[in-house]
Structure 1
Amino acid sequence: MKPFTFRSLFPGLILAAVACATAPSARAAEELVVYCNVQEEWCRPMVTAFEKATGIKVSMTRKSSGETYAQIKAEAANPRGDIWWGGTGDPHLQAAEEGLTEPYKSPRLADLHPWAVRQAEASKYRTVGVYAGALGFSFNTAELAKRKLPEPKCWADLIKPEFKGEIQVANPNSSGTSYTLLATLVQMMGEDRAFDYLKALHRNINQYTKSGAAPARAAATGESIIGITFLHDAVTHAVAGAPLKVVAPCEGTGYEVGSMSIIKGAKNLANAKKWYDWALTVEAQDIATVAHSYQNPSNKKAVLPPQAPKLADVKLIDYNFAKYGASAERSRLLGKWDKDIGALPK
């Protein structure tokens, strides 16, 4: 038997030290932190499918797009997230302009609709379109009939006195949906008239929610008669059996290009790029149908559910994504909303 010496332990200690030193990086290679901005019912199957396809373990947080933008900005010195998936494109464009996201040209760009590629080009490839959806509202047909109220068909109808306290919409500071509404009205009416309209609408609002999709849920349950959201958010509840009628406003409306970005300084950059490329595939985008989400997918070969509102059937304005996604303009409009609308008494 060999005599025991400390020297005889050295090889084992060295191997243990090497293992300890390399273990965290090995684990990091199989991890990904996703900030998801669509509904939980879509976020979860996306994560599950990606983990199954790649073996990469995903930690996912679901918030609204405005909240996620604020979080990424607050964490800029020490990023905690890797990929920002979904949510309206305006905050993605603002983050791109502010250098909060990484440029990346996916080899999947050629598979996408032109509107999705234009989003990438406008951001110098710091974001890309993953889906699109038109803005509008929905109303609870049962509640409307019970109160013998006329069906609203236009933006102008929503400021009528008979709808006082019966409408729900999100706060544009936390919700990309509601910021799209703000920017849409400014582009359609001019800024002064748009804010006059918002002041009149304020009288009919019972609650400014944090989430952009929440007003559709409120209309579906009868908590409110009308909810202003993207059309696809209302369709989800109508398909599930809620007494909702979905309306694309008669005057025309804006739309979103739901986007995806890699967060600047991502600790799992290689895995973030894997998610980015995978999320643009037909297989990944078809998960929306399974999750009962009715946006228009950006991959040209992905399935568009028959219930989904088709962009070609909606009177869309020529929404200026570059201008209203710019940091200065977005901050200015939100500041004006806080001062002129958010500060009004209820």
Structure 2
Amino acid sequence: MKSWLATALIGAFALAIPGHANAQKTKVTVYTALENDLLPSFKASIEKAVPEADVSWVRDSTGVITARFLAEKDAPKADMVIGLAASSLLMFDKAGLLETYEPKGAATLKPAFRPSKAPYTWTGTAAYLGVVCFNTAEAKGVPVPVSWNDLHNPALKGKIVMPHPASSGTGYLMVAGWLQGMGEEAGWKFMDGLHENIGAYLHSGSAPCVQAARGERTVGLALDMRGASEKTKGAPIEVIIPKEGVGWEVEASAVVKGSKVAPIARKIADWAASKEASELYTKGYAIVAYPGIEASPKNYPADAEAKMVKNDLAWMAENRERVLAEWSKRYDSKAAPKN
């Protein structure tokens, strides 16, 4: 009896020691390109749903995370990927770096957020697209653009910034959207003309709109939600989706093959496919995977989803290296210095 009581008291005392509960948690290294301001709430939600998990983020832009993950392919350091472009995950899948796992409830998600063919290695969570942030105060008589070709206006020379597609997922989805929507020959011709007016290619999907909002540039080609956010803060910008439509991409999650904490990573993958996760994604995205969840961000373009061009994620993955090599050959002279 005394032995049992002593054991119980020791156990109770141990649980009362600060940090003891955390000692039971398992570190899960998650590579992500989610915006920094979303990470605390995502971590809290994941760890509430999966109490044994201690989420450790490794965060950078899409291009940097993609390159890092592929460079580590022989000895992966990530256990999971959350909030990275599906086209990047398709590259990882082709290299045999992802575990085959269909999360619980994934079959209920919108078709665009699930693989179109086996094996099932990734699950979409939200969609994002590229828009035009146009500063009307700085335009000085330049008409508000309604077509992509309006950005060829000589009055905009040096006044346009956009994300560098090798660094930013937003930049690459815009390039892929032009090549798929216009056709490759016309797409490259359009980018040749756009390049004449580019001031710099920035290494962020949000920074171009931020610069336009501050009046540092007239036009910023950027992430859709950043445009809505900057306008809501009071910036004198219009958030425009050109009449030809815009490129887009799906944020996705996956479990890394060979992870030593795969059972816990699978539980987190289940969370990523849940209604709760989609509700959380509405804090940063207007279009989410779970049917019936409507996000209505203030100042977000009303016709955005209807103007998403036909987009082949597999094409984006398969042609990424070729497209980026050609893009760099043509336009890298105006790339902004990396920090």
Class of the TM-score when normalised by the shorter of the 2 chains: 0.7 to 0.9
Q: How far is the alpha carbon of 1:295 from its aligned partner?
A: 2.7
Structure 2 residue 243 is the aligned partner of structure 1 residue 253: no
Q: Are the equivalent residues in 2 in contact too, given 1:170–1:177 (CA < 8 A)? A: yes
C-alpha change, 1:88 and 1:137, in structure 2 (3 Å) is: farther
Q: Are the equivalent residues in 2 in contact too, given 1:87–1:259 (CA < 8 A)? A: yes
Q: Which residue of 2 aligns with 1:335?
A: 325
Q: Which residue of 2 aligns with 1:75?
A: 72
Q: How far is the alpha carbon of 1:253 from its aligned partner?
A: 2.1
1:53-81 deviations in Å (ceiling 9; x for gaps): 33321111221111111111111122111
Q: How far is the alpha carbon of 1:309 from its aligned partner?
A: 4.4
User: So what's the TM-score if we normalise by structure 2?
Assistant: 0.85
C-alpha change, 1:123 and 1:61, in structure 2 (3 Å) is: farther
Q: Which residue of 2 aligns with 1:322?
A: 314
Measured on the aligned residues, the alpha-carbon RMSD in Å equals 2.3
| Amino acid in the other structure paired with 1:140 | N
| Amino acid in the other structure paired with 1:332 | R
| Amino acid in the other structure paired with 1:92 | L
Q: How far is the alpha carbon of 1:246 from its aligned partner?
A: 0.8
Q: How far is the alpha carbon of 1:263 from its aligned partner?
A: 2.1
Q: Report the 3-state secondary structure (helix = DSSP H, G, I; strand = E; otherwise coil) of the residue aligned with 1:334.
A: helix
* Unmatched segments (≥5 aa) in structure 1: 1-25
| Amino acid in the other structure paired with 1:127 | W
Q: Report the 3-state secondary structure (helix = DSSP H, G, I; strand = E; otherwise coil) of the residue aligned with 2:249.
A: strand
| Amino acid in the other structure paired with 1:337 | W
C-alpha change, 1:87 and 1:345, in structure 2 (3 Å) is: closer
User: So what's the TM-score if we normalise by structure 1?
Assistant: 0.83
Alignment equivalent of 1:149, drawn from 123, 129, 142: 142
**How many correspondences in the alignment?**
313
Q: Which residue of 1 aligns with 2:226?
A: 233
> Which stretch of structure 1 is more off in the superposition, 245-254 or 264-273?
264-273
| Amino acid in the other structure paired with 1:128 | T
Give the number of the structure whose alpha-carbon radius of gyration is greater.
1
C-alpha change, 1:127 and 1:220, in structure 2 (3 Å) is: same
Structure 2 residue 286 is the aligned partner of structure 1 residue 295: yes
Q: Which residue of 2 aligns with 1:52?
A: 48
Q: Are the equivalent residues in 2 in contact too, given 1:216–1:227 (CA < 8 A)? A: yes
Task: Map 1:160-175; keep pairs closer than 5 Å.
Answer: 160-175=153-168
Task: Map 1:121-132; keep pairs closer than 5 Å.
Answer: 121-122=116-117, 124-132=119-127
Q: Report the 3-state secondary structure (helix = DSSP H, G, I; strand = E; otherwise coil) of the residue aligned with 1:87.
A: strand
Q: How far is the alpha carbon of 1:40 from its aligned partner?
A: 0.8
Output the CA distance in 2 between the equivalents of 1:215 and 1:122: 36
* Unmatched segments (≥5 aa) in structure 2: 1-21
Q: Are the equivalent residues in 2 in contact too, given 1:170–1:209 (CA < 8 A)? A: yes
Q: How far is the alpha carbon of 1:27 from its aligned partner?
A: 6.2
1:143-167 deviations in Å (ceiling 9; x for gaps): 22xx222111211011211111111
1:3-60 deviations in Å (ceiling 9; x for gaps): xxxxxxxxxxxxxxxxxxxxxxx96962211112121111221012222333321111
Q: How far is the alpha carbon of 1:213 from its aligned partner?
A: 2.0
Output the CA distance in 2 between the equivalents of 1:310 and 1:66: 29
